[in-house]
């Protein structure tokens, strides 16, 4: 192969564009020509990669019907743009997430090898998800899943499939002194999208429980959203004084370094996490974690070893676990050391090796 055409809908600071940026970087290192098709206007991880860029129109509206119309229009435009590769025989189409079905259909029509990297399962409404799955089923040459759980629930019968765990740049020297730098404060961190099903209200409720009883516990919430979106989302809520909300950060390293615990409070009945890159990143900094007991996080974290598996709806259990870590520094240090060691299993080197195998399979 001499060229890979990468296709992704929304460039932001969430997990799927971050992983795609790593895939593109690996292709560049191998000397493969790379093209990227995405929509305009997004600021995110894909801004940081060297690639020839092409754009197709897409816009999100407050009205879901207008958004759906914009999405289908964008995929028609994408499909037509990609037809220019029909005479280029040595090209692979690499579709990131289930959403850019225009790329899948263009690849199928032009006879290209089509790789689909699936990150998600909680797509709604159900008919929309079924539609996207049907396009992948007839178009994809190979499907990559980010966890065994995701392959189990979203597998495609008869389509070549592979699990490739997400990886990250693992210079673990930053974690070696983590357990020695704690002071009297205890800082809890959560990083997620601005969606109710990600557990943002559960996080605020938890902070509220600590506000009056334990003043040394502070909460930081980093959201993949603009300040205007955050202000609108929480306009009916009184935020606890022990919560700091930050928006759209390209580099969250200082907050991993300053924190003592990472939470992921996604609601399992509404949004099952398929992997959890922020969980791994936090663990690499020596942070114990509290994560959902299902999906990808349960493949990364062993209960009582690197942290705890707790349902976000069980506020009492969350409080109990945090309080336990507050008064048991030996237990905290044990979890922190285990977290660092477990994170090493998900290195960028392993990820790159697996992705290279996909390129030349």
CATH of the domain at 254: 3.40.50.2000
Tell me what the mean pLDDT of segment 220-232 comes to.
93
Pairwise pLDDT comparison (123 vs 102), residue with the higher score = 102
Q: What was the pLDDT predicted at 183?
A: 60
Position 291 pLDDT exceeds 90: yes
CB burial class (10 A; 0-12, 13-18, 19+) of residue 181?
exposed
Q: What was the pLDDT predicted at 170?
A: 63
Q: Looking at the structure, do residues 149 and 176 belong to the same domain, yes or no?
A: no
350 is a domain residue: no
What average pLDDT does the chain have? 92
Q: Looking at the structure, do residues 259 and 139 belong to the same domain, yes or no?
A: no
How would residue 42 be classed by pLDDT, with cut points 50, 70 and 90? Answer: confident
Q: Looking at the structure, do residues 139 and 185 belong to the same domain, yes or no?
A: no
Among 150, 156, 158, 105, CA closest to 130: 156
Among 253, 257, 254, 189, CA closest to 223: 189
Q: Looking at the structure, do residues 140 and 7 belong to the same domain, yes or no?
A: yes
358 is a domain residue: no
Q: What was the pLDDT predicted at 177?
A: 45
**Separation between Cα atoms, residue 163 and residue 350, nearest integer Å:** 12
Q: What SS3 state is found at 229? A: helix
- Over the stretch 1-35, which tens digit does the pLDDT of each residue have? 689 999 999 999 888 999 999 999 999 999 999 99
Q: Looking at the structure, do residues 248 and 130 belong to the same domain, yes or no?
A: no
Q: Looking at the structure, do residues 335 and 213 belong to the same domain, yes or no?
A: yes
Q: Looking at the structure, do residues 178 and 310 belong to the same domain, yes or no?
A: yes
Q: What was the pLDDT predicted at 173?
A: 54
Listed residues 133, 164, 195: the one ending a domain: 164
Q: Looking at the structure, do residues 270 and 160 belong to the same domain, yes or no?
A: no
Number of domains in the chain: 2
Q: What SS3 state is found at 244? A: strand
Tell me what the mean pLDDT of segment 135-143 comes to.
98
113 is a domain residue: yes
Domain that holds residue 323: 172-345
CB burial class (10 A; 0-12, 13-18, 19+) of residue 126?
exposed
**Separation between Cα atoms, residue 57 and residue 38, nearest integer Å:** 8
Task: Give the C-alpha distances (Å, rounded to integers) separating 234 from 152, 194, 228.
Answer: 36, 10, 10
Position 175 pLDDT exceeds 60: no
Query: CB of 166 within 8 A of CB of 19?
Result: yes
Query: CB of 32 within 8 A of CB of 359?
Result: yes
Note the pTM of the prediction, 2 decimals.
0.83
Q: What was the pLDDT predicted at 91?
A: 96
Long-range contacts, 151-158 (Cβ 8 Å, 24+): 153/121, 153/272, 154/118, 154/121
Strands 160-163 and 186-192: unpaired
Q: Looking at the structure, do residues 205 and 107 belong to the same domain, yes or no?
A: no
Pairwise pLDDT comparison (172 vs 347), residue with the higher score = 347
How would residue 180 be classed by pLDDT, with cut points 50, 70 and 90? Answer: very low
Q: Looking at the structure, do residues 159 and 63 belong to the same domain, yes or no?
A: yes
Alpha-carbon dihedral 48, 51, 54, 57, rounded to 10 degrees:
-30
């Amino acid at each position: 192969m001499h060229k890979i055409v990468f296709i992704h809908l929304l460039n932001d600071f969430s997990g799927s564009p971050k992983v795609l940026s790593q895939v593109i970087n690996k292709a560049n290192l191998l000397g493969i020509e790379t093209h990227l098709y995405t929509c305009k206007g997004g600021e995110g991880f894909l801004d940081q990669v060297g690639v020839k860029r092409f754009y197709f129109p897409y816009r999100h509206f407050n009205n879901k019907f207008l958004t759906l119309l914009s999405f289908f229009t964008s995929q028609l435009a994408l499909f037509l743009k990609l037809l220019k590769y029909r005479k280029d025989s040595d090209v692979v189409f690499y579709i990131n997430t289930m959403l850019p079905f225009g790329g899948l259909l263009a690849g199928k029509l032009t006879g290209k090898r089509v790789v689909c990297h699936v990150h998600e399962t909680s797509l709604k409404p159900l008919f929309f998800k079924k539609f996207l799955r049907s396009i992948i089923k007839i178009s994809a040459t190979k499907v990559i899943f980010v966890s065994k759980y995701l392959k189990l629930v979203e597998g495609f019968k008869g389509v070549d499939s592979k699990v490739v765990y997400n990886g990250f740049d693992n210079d673990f020297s930053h974690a070696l002194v983590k357990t020695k730098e704690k002071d009297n404060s205890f800082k809890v961190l959560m990083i997620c999208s601005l969606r109710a099903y990600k557990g943002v209200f559960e996080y605020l409720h938890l902070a509220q429980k600590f506000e009056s009883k334990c003043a040394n516990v502070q909460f930081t919430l980093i959201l993949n959203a603009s300040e205007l979106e955050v202000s609108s989302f929480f306009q009916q809520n009184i935020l606890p004084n022990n919560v700091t909300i930050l928006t759209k950060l390209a580099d969250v390293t200082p907050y991993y370094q300053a924190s003592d615990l990472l939470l992921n409070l996604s609601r399992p009945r509404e949004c099952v996490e398929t992997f959890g890159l922020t969980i791994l990143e936090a663990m690499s900094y020596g942070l114990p974690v509290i994560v959902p007991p299902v999906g990808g996080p349960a493949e990364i974290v062993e209960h009582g070893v690197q942290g705890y598996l707790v349902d976000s709806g069980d506020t009492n259990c969350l409080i109990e676990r945090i309080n336990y870590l507050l008064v048991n520094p030996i237990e905290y240090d044990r979890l922190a050391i285990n977290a660092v060691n477990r994170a090493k299993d998900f290195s960028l080197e392993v990820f790159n090796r697996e992705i290279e195998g996909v390129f030349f399979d």
